[in-house]
Amino acid sequence: MKGLAVGGASLAGVSGFTMKSSAQNGEIPAPFCGEASLPPQNPPGGQAGQCIGCVEDVCDGPTALEPLFSGLSGTCFTLPAEDIPEGADYLTLKAGQNCFLAEVPDNLSGDVTFCLEQVDGQPPMLQDISNATFYTCAGEDPQLPRSWRSPARRSASKPRIFQMVVRCR
């Protein structure tokens, strides 16, 4: 899914992002991956800990990326490609008590839409998305900008690390 441009008309949502109520062509599917952890898994806790189990199933050492998106509604989440955090590998969408997982393709442009997807009838009913969290995986050199990364360096599980430690004295 390299060089994907996704767009379309939609209704304005929270903080200038848009939500749609039904899936359409060109959208990135986010299949059901399990129930949310209640209370949230700690660390990281809070919103980032609700669906991190889905990401841990596909990569080692996932780290939540800022910003976290909350107060959402609808069954799709749309945002400009430039607002996707640098180094994002996966996106979780929490809808009701259910979690959905989407892979974040490289080289996105325009508006990008991620939509909930039922897998074999699971969950039995799609509820509105309440929050969205981007994650990165451990193992890739964090100094390289996303657009410079070689696709040949990526494995099937897309291990990466994009974490910065700042210490103040």
Give strand ranges (E) for 71-151: 76-80, 90-95, 98-103, 111-117, 129-136
Residue 165, Cβ neighbours under 10 Å: how many? 4
Q: What angle do CA 81, 65, 45 make, to 5 degrees?
A: 140
What sign for the dihedral angle of Cα 136, 94, 100, 22? negative
Check if the beta carbon of residue 109 is closer than 8 Å to that of residue 81.
yes
pLDDT band at 43 (very low <50, low <70, confident <90, very high): confident
Task: Return the pLDDT at 156.
Answer: 37
State residue 82 phi and psi, 5-degree precision. Answer: -70, -15
**Mean pLDDT across the chain:** 75
Q: Is this structure's pTM higher than 0.75?
A: no
One-letter amino acid for residue 27 of the chain: E
- Pick the more confident residue, 147 or 99: 99
Tens of pLDDT along 5-23?
A: 333 322 222 333 333 333 3
Boundaries of every domain in the chain: 11-153
Tens of pLDDT along 76-133?
A: 999 999 999 999 999 999 999 999 999 999 999 999 999 999 988 899 999 999 999 9
Q: Which among 160, 112, 154 is positioned nearest to 132, based on CA atoms?
A: 112
Check if the beta carbon of residue 85 is closer than 8 Å to that of residue 140.
no
Task: Return the pLDDT at 139.
Answer: 54
Where is 52: in which H helix or E strand?
helix 52-56
